[in-house]
Chains A and B, each alone.
Chain A
Amino acid sequence: MSTVSLAQFHQVFFEESLEGLDAMETALLALDKGGDTELVHSIFRAAHSIKGGAATFGFPEMAAFTHEAESLLDELREGRRAIDGPIVELLLRTVDCLRGMFDRAQAGQPLADAASEDLRQQLAAMVGRALPAAGKSAATKSAAASGWLIEFRPHTGMLAGGNEPLRMLRELAGLGQLDVTALVDAVPALDALEPSECHMGWRIALTGAATREAIAAVFEWVEDECDLRIEPLTAPAPAATVAPPIAAATAAASPAETGAAPRAAATANADAGSVRVGIDKIDSMIDLVGELVITQAMLDQFREEFDPTRLPLLQQGLAQLARHTRTLQERVMGIRMLPIGSVFNRFPRLVRDLSQKLGKQVKLDLVGEHTELDKTVLEKIGDPLVHLVRNAIDHGLEVPEKRRAAGKGETGTLRLEAFHRGGTIVVEIVDDGAGLNREAIIAKALQKGLIKSGESLTDSEVGELIFQPGFSTAAATTDLSGRGVGMDVVRRNVVDLGGHVAISSRPGNGTTFTITLPLTLAIIDGLIAEVAQERYIVPLTSIIESVQLREGVMRTVAGKGELLYFRERYLPIVRLGEAFGCGGAQDDMIIVVESDGVQMGLVVGALVGQQQVVVKSLEANYRRVEGISGATILADGSVALIVDVAGLVRMQSRRKAA
């Protein structure tokens, strides 16, 4: 069987199909709001590609399943059936089910399960065709035959679709012993022959224990483009022409071994991530490399003969080199940048399902889908965003009656917006719901012992409370939210990416969550600080400001602990020299930093300057060091360590606890 060599294409097939499913989902949601037939066509095309790919790459269950959806879509496409809510719902569930199949395919597990079988029956019922239970039919049919006679006559245009008869014959050879006769009666005379058309047919006698379904699956991809007859060899009685759709539909139960080998191989490379890069991005980099080579050649001339009169040229060349290097750096980093739309795309569906379930009317606005983010950041931001969106619909937005009572429109608005702000990406989740319920939050915090009664809290402090572990105000735990494992995890995920989450609430008018993320994890802007002749980098994103350590800014608590009096607040301080064990009693600069909503003063010796630094791993050759997030190489070639502000905050709070 030739499928083993196909295994290398599985990953591409999965990626393309998942993209196809996303496209199907988007189109279905648009269709739900009343779209045109072009949408149906695009859904049909996506389903058709998945079906074809699944059959080719050895996933017959998936092909059979998709086939049913395709039959339904075909009726919609030809206008034989009107598009209504239940159909869209059914097709959306089909998309979910296919996603599940792809997950299982990647994990090397059996594709079909009870749910998919049930859904397949429903799809078939929708097009008015009852299917025999897949498992039984296979058993009864395969028992009868010791072999099959297959007559396969491709239509003349079949080759144009990229279908390869040889591949099908090879696949058949894997099912049993073949005896093939070519049918050349339809081949025209040489002068009339169009070489790109297929005029041949084949009569194939297959001896072996193969089921009819397994054979039909081989021809599944071309069923509309050929005449196919499959008859049992043992019973040369009148041959029933197998209507291809039914044959394909029942193929779900084809022997497990046809799919097992490629699936195992597919899991091996499932982990290797890949990025699709636009040709224009690559071309622009090639151009730049060309420029670099020219600059390098120009500079090379100075090596051969150095003439002081040409010094301005040298300066010019070096400036050019610097410019090209910087641009190249940007472009290369740009390869990792993907639009945030790929994360936003899942929300229309989520919002639709959730609002239906909760009986709320929600209008979703997506703004700034083209804002680009580092792939790594993008992959990790999805779950926190899902959580925030769920929370906004579950807790934030009210049911229509309440909205009406509050004098607002019945339909709530949820806006997701992404935009750039000074070297960072900001994602805002804004709802126009009821806002934070201050009383409920305070009552809950009292109950959990997070605050003491009588403490007066500012609005932002109340907002902070919901990020505490185990905090949830939902009266009843629903399956959507309210398990109290949410917001602290959201915050932790965002902080791990080097960003932070803020919340602001307008009672009666809604809540805004603001997530600030670094553009990329590989290069950061840092402030170089000196502590006892050692240099440390403090990431600029966590710095609030720096102040001189003067008489009176420091307050001593109980004779030993020190606090920084900063903007009418007392902040804990960390002497970097002490934390990192390098002395530095003379330090007199304080960098005020923030992480996790906690502000803190870092005492350092002097500020040297600000610089973009490339983050290098300390763990690759050494190990993780507490309070250090990585290392970088300074202009003089020496190594400087990057301060992990979040880690220092944790160290500090642990010391406080001890």
Chain B
Amino acid sequence: MSQTLSDSNAAIQYLTVNLAHEEYGIDILAVREIRGWTPVTRIPQAPEYVLGVLNLRGAIVPVIDMRLRFGLAREDYTATTVTVIITVAGRNFGVVVDAVSDVMDIAADKVRPVPDMGTTVDTEYLKGLTSIGERMVLLLDVDKLLQPQDAQMLEGALDAMSDVKAVA
């Protein structure tokens, strides 16, 4: 990933969000919309960090709490809590973050690799970090964010198969 970034110096726009007093950037092209927090419908047999599903103009979209996803304590949802709807590989999902803060251009050559320490978030989900003045922004790799979801889907498929066997 870092190699493709160093290939080009073109700036990429990032939406920055706050999570546990740290600032994270999400590639704005993956962001579909930002909604205020609204209660969701819980789904049975889902991992804890999958809060449930919401109605996005007729489509049923799962919502993930980023704090829970990264093993942080769940915080009360406040007026600034938002759901960012992200589209990756044709699938939509929402992530709940503490607040949205800014949209900024970050040039590819300003992005540095992540040292393997000192962040709340597992470095696996990061594609780099950058600093803007005093602030440090951690750039999220949204493709990877979905990967645990893929694993679940696989689980789902296996479940379905064992179902068929149980009946046959």
Interface residues of A (CB under 8 A from B): 469, 492, 534, 579-582, 616-628, 631, 633, 637-641, 647, 650, 653-654, 657
Flag if A650 contacts B41 (CB, 8 Å): no
Q: Please tell me if the beta carbons of B44 and A625 are within 8 angstroms of each other in the complex.
A: yes
User: Are A617 and B60 within 8 A (Cβ)?
Assistant: yes
Besides A624-B160, A650-B167, 18 other A-B contacts (C-beta < 8 A): A534-B42, A581-B44, A581-B45, A617-B60, A618-B43, A621-B60, A621-B91, A622-B60, A626-B163, A627-B45, A631-B53, A638-B39, A638-B55, A639-B60, A641-B41, A641-B43, A641-B44, A647-B163
Determine whether the beta carbon of B167 is less than 8 Å from that of A492: yes
Which of chain B's residues 93-141 have a Cβ closer than 8 Å to chain A? 93
Number of interface residues of B (CB under 8 A): 33
Summarize B's interface: helix, strand, loop or mixed: mixed
B1 within 8 A of A: no
How distant is B166 from chain A, measured CB to nearest CB, in Å? 5
Contact A639 B54 (CB under 8 A): yes
Binds A, one of B2-10, B11-19, B151-159: B151-159
Closest to A617 in B: B60
**Which residues of the partner chain B approach A618 to less than 8 Å between Cβ atoms?**
43, 53, 60
Which of B42, B52, B156 is in CB contact (< 8 Å) with A623?
A: B156
Chain B residues lying within 8 Å of A469, measured Cβ to Cβ, are 168
- With a cutoff of 8 Å between Cβ atoms, the chain B residues found around residue A657 in the complex are 166
Q: Contacts A631-B53, A650-B163, A657-B166 given: A625-B58 contact, CB under 8 Å? A: no
- B binding-site residues for A, Cβ under 8 Å: 39-46, 50, 52-55, 58-62, 91-93, 149, 152-153, 155-157, 159-160, 163, 166-168
Contact status B163-A640, CB under 8 Å: no
Using known A-B contacts A469-B168, A639-B60, determine if residue A628 contacts B44 with beta carbons closer than 8 Å: yes
Give A650 to B159 CA distance when docked, in angstroms.
Answer: 12
A622-B53, A631-B53, A650-B166 known; A638-B156 Cβ under 8 A:
no
Partner of A628, one of B43, B93, B166: B43
Bound together, the chains give a CA A637 to CA B55 distance in angstroms of: 7
Q: How far is the CA of A644 from the CA of B54 in the complex (A)?
A: 20
In the complex, are the beta carbons of A631 and B60 less than 8 A apart?
yes
Rounded to whole angstroms, the CA-CA distance of A627 and B149 in the bound complex is 19
Whether A582 contacts B42 by the Cβ 8 Å rule is yes
Known contacts A650-B163, A657-B166; A579 and B44 CB within 8 A of each other = yes
Residues of B within 8 A of A621 (CB): 59-62, 91-93
Point out the residues of chain B lying under 8 angstroms from A580, CB to CB: 44-45
CB distance from A585 to the nearest CB of B (A): 17
- A625 pairs with B46, CB closer than 8 A: yes
Bound together, the chains give a CA A413 to CA B153 distance in angstroms of 50
Query: Which 10 interchain pairs have the tightest Cβ spacing?
Result: A580-B44, A623-B156, A639-B41, A622-B62, A624-B156, A623-B153, A631-B60, A633-B55, A621-B92, A616-B60
With A628-B44, A641-B43 given, is the CB distance from A620 to B60 under 8 Å?
yes
* B87 and chain A: residue at smallest CB distance: A621
Are B166 and A639 within 8 A (Cβ)? no
- For B167, give the chain A residue with the smallest CB separation: A650
Give the chain A neighbours of B52 by CB distance below 8 A: 639
CB-defined A-B contacts under 8 Å, sample of 30 = A492-B167, A534-B42, A579-B44, A580-B44, A580-B45, A581-B44, A581-B45, A582-B42, A619-B156, A620-B59, A621-B62, A621-B92, A622-B53, A623-B149, A623-B156, A625-B44, A625-B45, A625-B46, A626-B45, A626-B163, A627-B44, A628-B43, A631-B60, A633-B58, A637-B55, A639-B60, A641-B44, A647-B163, A650-B167, A654-B166
